[in-house]
Structure formats: C-alpha cells, structure tokens
Structure 1
Amino acid sequence: MKILNAIQLKEADAQTLVKQNITSAELMERAATQAFFWIKNKFADKETVFHIFCGKGNNGGDGLVLARLLHNDNYVVFLNIIGDGSPSADFSLNFERLGKEGIALQNSNEISSFGKGKTVVIDALFGIGFSRELNDDFIDIINIINNSGAFVIAVDTPSGLYLDKKTELAVKADVVLTFQCAKLAFYLPSNYNFTGKVVVLDIGLDKAAVDNVKTSYYLTDSIEVVKRYKPIPAFAHKGTLGHALIIGGSYGKVGAVCLSAKAALKSGCGLVTAFAPECGYNALQSYFPEAMVLTNGNKHIENIGFDISPDAIGIGPGLGQEQQTQEALYNFIKQQDKPLVIDADALNILSYNKEWLNLLPEGSILTPHPKELERLLGSCKDDYERLDKMIAFAAEYKIVLVAKNARTMIVYNNEVHINPTGNAALATGGSGDVLTGLITGLLAQGYSPQDAAVFGVYLHGLAADIAVPETGIQSFTASDIINYVGKAYLKIQSDMP
C-alpha cells in the first residue's frame, strides 16, 4: 500500500471529484460514513457517550458529519467547535445541515468521563494539511483530551501531528481512522504515543489517481505479502528447498544461534547447519535435532571455514566480539560473493570497523535494532534525519537495511517499506535472533534479498500477533514466535486469491 503525503492526497482527491463527478462535500460524506461504520461496529452499546471536537476546516467537517450520523443512530453526542477563523465551505454546509438535526453545541470543553469504552472522544480539530503552530486554545483542548481518560479516536490524523517534521504536542489517539492511505508520520518512533492503532479506511478515491502517484514509501499489507510469497511446490524435497547456514554463538550466548537456526528451518527451507564454537555443540544437538552442527574454537569462534555450499548465510546471533572473532568475520566477509544476513554482534563489529562495510556482497541484509542502527549511522536529531541517513546508507553500500523497531522499516533501492505486524510482546530477548533465522531461511529458498526481508519481517510480526491472544504479552518468549510461524503461514495462505 502506497504512503502518500498531503499534497499527493489532495491531488488524488481533486482527480476523484472530476472522474467520479462528485462534489467535495459528497466525498466528505463518504469518508465520514466509513468512519461511522467502524465506530458503530466498535461501540455497539448505545450508552456510549461521544464528545466530538471540531476545528473549522475540512477535518472539522468530517467531525460534523460523524456527529450527525451518530446522533441519528441514537447515540449521545456532545459537540464542540474550536477556533475563531473562517470556516471552510464544506464545514459551513455541514454545520447548516447539523442545525436542522437539533444537535446543540457545548459551551464547555469539559469531558464527562465514564472510562474507556463508555466515553469516546473524537478528535476532528486538524487534518493532514496542518502545518502552523498551535495557539493556546488548541494546546488547552489537546491537553484536556489527553488527560480525559476517555477512548480517543482521531479522524484522519491526530490533531497537532506534523506529517513532515518533529511533533512536540498532539492528541494521543487510541485509534487513528485515516482515509485511503497510511501516513509516514504515523510510523516514526517519536510519534508512537500519538498514533496508537492505525486503521486505513478505503473511501473510494480514483484508483488510477492513486496508482499513478510516485512515492518512495509503502506500508506492507496482505496483498503485497501474497505477491512476494513463494508456496512450496507439491513435489519438493529437502534438496530443492535450500540450505541455510547460521553462524554465531559464544560462551553464554549459544541460545541465540539455537533460536536463529531453528527459525531458519521453520521458515520452510530444507536444510539448516549451525556453525558455533565447541561449547555450543551439545546444546544445539539437544535443542534442535533437525540441525547439522559445525564447530570452531572452544568458547568463541576463531576462524570461519566449512566445506559445505549453503544457499544463504546468516551471521551474528550470540557471536561475541572477541578479537579472534572479529578477525574471523573480516576474513569471512572478504571471501563472500552472495548476499549475507548480518545481525547482532556481527553488526557491532562492523560499526567499529566501518571500512569493512565496503566488502559486503551487494544485496546483503543488515538487521539492526535502534542502538545498533545508531552505531552504524551516528546520532540523529530526529526521525526524519534518521530516515534520510537510512536511505543514504542502504544506497551507498547497496544493501537491504532492516531497521527493527515497533514499526520496522525495510530500506532498499531508495524505497522504505514499513511493516504493520507485531506487538509489544516482541520486546523480548531472542526476538531478533529469530528474525535473522527466518530471513536467512527465506533467502535460502530463493527469495530475493528484498522479498526475504519484507516477507520475513511481516511473518515474524504476524506470528506474534497470532500468539499473543493465547500466550499474553508478559509471558511471551522468542520461542513462541517459532512455534506460531506455522499459523502465520496459514493466515497468509488464507489471504491468497
């Protein structure tokens, strides 16, 4: 799914009005109606109280339509209009229509609170075109909303959120009901507190108008995942499904290579070999009998050499940073001509020896978490600078960068693909090791580096999404990702046409 900016979306709106021969007010009605259907499905209890805060622009117009639809469906609606400026034409039209419905405006901005689920605030103050500084009146309203204890729904975007620069204060939405396309700002780490769950509502913008827009940003949806998925042929055997090699482990960190190797096999590849120091041999053979094991060194890897021909190699989980290991990594990378999957300690070693990045085979996949990413890129003043550096880094070294976070970004070929799956349960030790294994296993099966990264990250997060209703977040472990990969595959297969 394309991620478009405000200018691109306004152009798509304009083309839709012409091609579908409708007015902007009719498009507003269509958009707000889709939001109404979602809200009605979520809050079926007619005792739910809605406080709707509207600005005087088109986002406020969406809020007025919602107020009318909810009121006519017998919900209790309190309506506040904020601001002294001139209203937009569509706002004025819907305001006149609202008066005929008998919905009174509130004189107070106080929010009656009966707890989340009974009191719902709908934020329709500002839309995607917001660019000015907040004045005191709007700062007060946003703080009232954020401290209300109510369930907060933002229409199209949380008010106060800038789409192209750092935001200091905005409505903290539990849910954002955004129209037609996701917005980049929703998925940046500094904005997590404002965006909550993002629901993209299709409001029927002209398909050609959206398809023809060029963008560098995408949200990975189920349609995109199905396109990248490679089903296993009916007459496959282990020799045709790829051989993955996972290199890692050191004394006290053998579990990392265990998790990664098992995840590689669970991804669907035919064979997995783990390369680890001698201290990990018994653990690997006991934990994962399906794996083959090669060893070097006693407590850490001293040299990387083998007489097998794997189809893909992942390196780094639990590797350690001993001097001998660093030298072994350097000598190993120099000899490679096929894309590698590089994680954890291998990334840290590269960050200390950045000139080695030039040795990486084209298409290699680097999977840093935030601290590892900072070591590679240097510090950044905000998310936008970090994003620019990520794009430049991936282009300079011709690699695929998987920047792990609550909303992981996959960067390659000057494109950014944002992953929507996953949850807070993934914030647990070993989660990244599992991801390394999954991506390596997919690469071994013949996925391109780009497809292996996008599909692997989506699969990893989807497994956690499926698992959590059964395991809970607190008790979830990295092994649960592996255990639920099968169900994640089944879900992807069910999405196939």
Structure 2
Amino acid sequence: MKILSKEQVYEGDRLTAERQNISSTELMERAATKIFYWIHSRLQGQPIPIHVFCGIGNNGGDGLVLSRHLINHGYNVNTYVVNYSDKRSKDFLINYERIKQTSKNWPLLLNEEDELPKITPDAIIVDGVFGIGLNRPADDWVKKLFQHMRASKAFTLAIDIPSGLYTDHVPEDENGVVWANYTLSFQTPKLVFFLPDTGKFTTEWEVLDIGIDPSYLQGVKTEAELIGKFEMLSVYQPRDKFSHKGSFGHALIVGGSYGKIGAVILASRAALTAGAGLITAYVPKCGYIPIQASFPEAMVITDNEEDFISNISFEQKPSAIGFGVGIGTDKKTLIAFEAFLKQYKGRLVIDADGINMLANNKELLDLLQPQTILTPHPKELKRLIGDWKDDFEKLEKVKSFSLKYDLIIVIKGANTVTVYKDLLYVNSSGNPGLATAGSGDVLTGVITGMLSQGYDPLTATLFGVYLHGKAADIAVLDLGYQALTASLVIDALGEAYLDLFKQPNVEEQEKQ
C-alpha cells in the first residue's frame, strides 16, 4: 500500500473531484459519511455521549458532516467549533450551514476565554480540529483543550490524523497533539503512524477507502510504501515439482564466538526454515559440537581458533552469506572480515558485530558489494551513521548513507523500516514479543535464506522482514508477548508462509 505525502493527498483529492465531476464538498461528504458508518456499525444507536470537536478548515468540515449524520440518526451529539482563527474554509462554511438546518442544537463556538466542556470517561471524543495541512503549533488554549480531552479518559477517535501532528516532522510539544485511541485515515496511512516519535499519538489506525481516483493511486510514485501480505504474495516464488535442494541455494552463516554459538544456531535454523536448500555454519572450533548436536540438518566448518573466528576460508560456493551474529570484535576477527570483504563478491547480509566493525572501520564500507543488506538495531545504527535529533532526521541520514554506499538498510523496530536509497518500506507485521534475545539473529537468517533462494536483495529483505514479523504474530497468539522466544518464531515461519494464501477476514480487509 502506498503511503502518500501531504502534497500527494491534495493532488489526489483535486484529480478525483475533476475526473469524477464532483465538488470538493461532495468528496468531503463522501469521506465523512464513511466515518459515520464506521461509528454507526459499532454503536448501533447506543445513547453514548459523543463530543465532536471541529476546527475551521476542511478537517473541521469533516467533523460537521459527521455530526449532522449522527444527529439525524438520533445519537447524543455535542458539536464544538474550536475557534482558533477568523478564517474558514469554503467547505467548512457550507457544512456549517447544513448542520444548522439539521438541528436546533447548533455547534457551540469554543473561544480562548470559554470554559472547557465537561467530558465523562464513558463518552466518545471525535477529533476534527486540525488536518494534514497543519503548519504551526497549536495556540496555548487549544493545547489546554487537547490536554483536557486526554485527561477525560474518554475514547478518542481522530479524523484522518490526530490534531497537532504534522505529516513531515515531529511536533514541538506533545501537549499540542491529540492522543487518539483510534485514527480513521482517508485512503492511505500516514508515515507518522509508524515512527517511534510520532506513532505514539494513535494507538491504532485504519484506512477508509473514500474513492480517490484509482488511476492516480496506481500511477503516483511515493517515497514510502506499507508492506503487507498482498505485496508479498505478489512476489512469492512457487516451487517446481521437479526442483531439488540445489534449486534453492546454499546459505552460509558466518559468526559465533565463545558463549555466543546460539546466535549462529538460530540464524542457521532460520535460513533453512525460510527455504534455503542447504545450510552451512562457519564457526570457531567451540561451536562444532553444539551445532552438530542441536541442528542435524546443518553442515559445519570450523575456524582454526577455538574461541573466535580468525580466518574465513571455505571451498563451498554459497548462494548467500549471513555474517556477524555472535561473532565478536576480536582484532583477528576484524582482519579476517576485511580479507573476506576484499575477496567475496556475492550476496551478503551483515548484522550485529559485523555492523559494529563497519562502524569502527569506515574504510570497510567501500569494500561492500552493491545492495549488501545491513540489519542494525538502534544503537548499532547510531554507531554507523551518527546520532539524530528525531525520526525524520534519522530517515534522512539513513537514506543518504544508503545512497552513498548503495546499501539496503533495515531499521529494526516496532514498525521495521527498510531503506534503499531514497525509498522507504514500512513493515506491517510484528509485535512487542520480538523484543527478545535472538530475534535479530533469526531475522538475519531468514533474509539470508530468502537471498539463497534467488529473490533479489530488496525483495529478499522485504519478504524476510515480513515473514519474520508474521511468524511472531502467529506464535504470540498462543503465548503472549512475554513468553515469545526467537526459537518459537522460527517454528512459526511455516505458518507465516501458509498465511499468505489464507483469505483475509473483515478486519484485515479494512486494514488493507
């Protein structure tokens, strides 16, 4: 699913009105009516107090349309116009007149000097104060209103985007943003829903299809895309009846040091379970017995050293290599890593201390092959590219880094973002249960396994990240977040594959 920028949303609205021969007011009616039906299907006429807060722009116009429909269906509605400016949009004024003709209970004008309305915890708040066009912080009295809304503990539903949240940078003051329980986003999710600095302002979100011109949506090129089941199903490579293990490549995992052989076992198991035809682990001598005893499907090559890797040499011709899990940063390991990069020209995933060695020896970055995949966690990423002030600066720095070295960067987190040059791919799967030891090793293995099967590096990365998260989503249903372990994520990879072919339920269809 494409994630449109603010400017692309405006252009989509304009072209839709033009090509469908409707006015912007009719498009607003269509959008807000979708919100009404969403609410109505859940409340079924229950007399719950609903407080609709409208700004004086088009987001407020959406709120007025919604209030009118709620009133017409007998709901207990209080409508407020947050009067933060003397300017009104045309569509706001049109719908202001319409609601006045619908009910004698006209919207209440809220000014700076007015007392804030009483809101009980059992009520519903609908936030339609600011939309995506916000270009300055809220006034102090509007901030107090937002804090009053939050303090009420009432369920808060935001129209399109929580008010006070920008689409392209982090708000200056979190008190100037509505904290929404749920956001109904028109046609496309907003990038800010997925970033740690801004995603906290909406607990959940859902996209409402408001009928934006299909040809525009199909043709528009976006900076960001949300990756889900349907995107991955379209790139899935089915297996031929007469294929054999050699058809799906030979994955090699290079890593491990004394006390950290488990990382190699996890990554190797994940690579094979993700679909690699053959798997070999390259480890120090101390890893030989643990791997042979716990993972009989794996072949093992050992280094000359007992406790760490000092020389990466093998006769096999791997289809893809995953490097760095549990490997440590011994000086001899660093020398071996440099020598390896100088001679290896194949597909490569680098994780953990492999990334730390790159960060501490930046000259090694010039040895990386195009589209090498790096999978850093936040601290490793900072060592690699330097600190950042917020998520947007982080993304810009990662894009520049990716462009400079032609690398694919996986920014691991609650919504893992894969960056390739100036494009962002936001993963839709995964959950907090993945915040556990070894889950990163599993991800490295899964991506290496996808590379081994012949997926191109970017597709292998996106597919691997998605399957890894989906396996965690499946496993956590029976376990809860706390009990999820990296090994159980591997065990659920098969179900994650099968899930690609299951028909979505109603909730999944709405999310898509």
Tell me if both proteins adopt one fold, taking TM over 0.5 as the criterion.
Answer: yes
Match of 1:95 in 2: 96
Q: Which one of 273, 279, 282 corresponds to residue 272 of structure 1?
A: 279
Give matches, 1:114-153, under 5 Å: 114=121, 118-153=122-157
Q: Which runs of 5+ in 2 are unaligned?
A: 505-512
Shift of 1:322: 1.3
> What amino acid maps onto 2:17 in structure 1?
L
Shift of 1:65: 1.9
Q: Which one of 197, 213, 237 corresponds to residue 220 of structure 2?
A: 213
Deviation larger for 448-457 or 485-494: 485-494
Q: Which one of 171, 193, 200 corresponds to residue 178 of structure 2?
A: 171
1:9 aligns with 2:13: no
* 1:366-387 deviation digits (Å, cap 9, x = unpaired): 0111111111101122222221
Match of 2:384 in 1: 376
Match of 1:29 in 2: 29
Distance change >3 Å, CA 43–CA 245, structure 1 → 2: farther
Task: Report the secondary structure of 1:228's partner residue.
Answer: coil
Match of 2:38 in 1: 38
Match of 2:453 in 1: 445
Match of 1:426 in 2: 434
Task: Report the secondary structure of 1:380's partner residue.
Answer: coil
Distance change >3 Å, CA 49–CA 248, structure 1 → 2: farther
- How far, CA to CA, are the matches of 2:42 and 2:250 in structure 1? 46
- How far, CA to CA, are the matches of 1:48 and 1:487 in structure 2? 41
Give matches, 1:357-368, under 5 Å: 357-368=365-376
Distance change >3 Å, CA 132–CA 317, structure 1 → 2: same
Distance change >3 Å, CA 40–CA 279, structure 1 → 2: farther
Give matches, 1:69-108, under 5 Å: 69-83=69-83, 84-102=85-103, 103-105=105-107
Q: Which runs of 5+ in 1 are unaligned?
A: none
Q: Which one of 299, 304, 327 corresponds to residue 292 of structure 1?
A: 299
Task: Report the secondary structure of 1:196's partner residue.
Answer: strand
> Is the CA contact (8 Å cut-off) linking 2:53 and 2:128 kept in structure 1?
yes
Q: Which one of 487, 495, 503 corresponds to residue 479 of structure 1?
A: 487
Distance change >3 Å, CA 302–CA 9, structure 1 → 2: same
Shift of 1:227: 2.1
> Is the CA contact (8 Å cut-off) linking 2:45 and 2:74 kept in structure 1?
no
- How far, CA to CA, are the matches of 2:497 and 2:70 in structure 1? 39
Distance change >3 Å, CA 93–CA 355, structure 1 → 2: same
Distance change >3 Å, CA 335–CA 48, structure 1 → 2: farther
> Is the CA contact (8 Å cut-off) linking 2:157 and 2:180 kept in structure 1?
yes
Deviation larger for 84-93 or 334-343: 84-93
> Is the CA contact (8 Å cut-off) linking 2:248 and 2:452 kept in structure 1?
yes
Deviation larger for 178-187 or 351-360: 178-187
Provide TM-score, normalisation by structure 1. 0.94
Q: Which 4+ runs in 1 deviate beyond 6 A? A: none
Distance change >3 Å, CA 488–CA 57, structure 1 → 2: same
> What amino acid maps onto 1:187 in structure 2?
F
Match of 1:65 in 2: 65
Deviation larger for 275-284 or 353-362: 275-284
- How far, CA to CA, are the matches of 1:165 and 1:267 in structure 2? 37
Match of 1:257 in 2: 264
Matched residue count: 493
Deviation larger for 48-57 or 37-46: 37-46
1:224 aligns with 2:231: yes
> What amino acid maps onto 2:444 in structure 1?
T
> Is the CA contact (8 Å cut-off) linking 1:146 and 1:171 kept in structure 2?
yes
> Is the CA contact (8 Å cut-off) linking 2:309 and 2:336 kept in structure 1?
yes
Task: Report the secondary structure of 2:501's partner residue.
Answer: helix
Task: Report the secondary structure of 1:200's partner residue.
Answer: strand
> Is the CA contact (8 Å cut-off) linking 1:52 and 1:80 kept in structure 2?
yes
Match of 2:164 in 1: 160
> Is the CA contact (8 Å cut-off) linking 1:344 and 1:368 kept in structure 2?
yes
- How far, CA to CA, are the matches of 1:205 and 1:255 in structure 2? 50
* 1:111-152 deviation digits (Å, cap 9, x = unpaired): 5333xxx43222111111111221022111111122222222
Provide TM-score, normalisation by structure 2. 0.92
> Is the CA contact (8 Å cut-off) linking 1:80 and 1:109 kept in structure 2?
no
Distance change >3 Å, CA 333–CA 474, structure 1 → 2: same
- How far, CA to CA, are the matches of 2:40 and 2:296 in structure 1? 51
> Is the CA contact (8 Å cut-off) linking 1:339 and 1:362 kept in structure 2?
no
> Is the CA contact (8 Å cut-off) linking 1:277 and 1:299 kept in structure 2?
yes
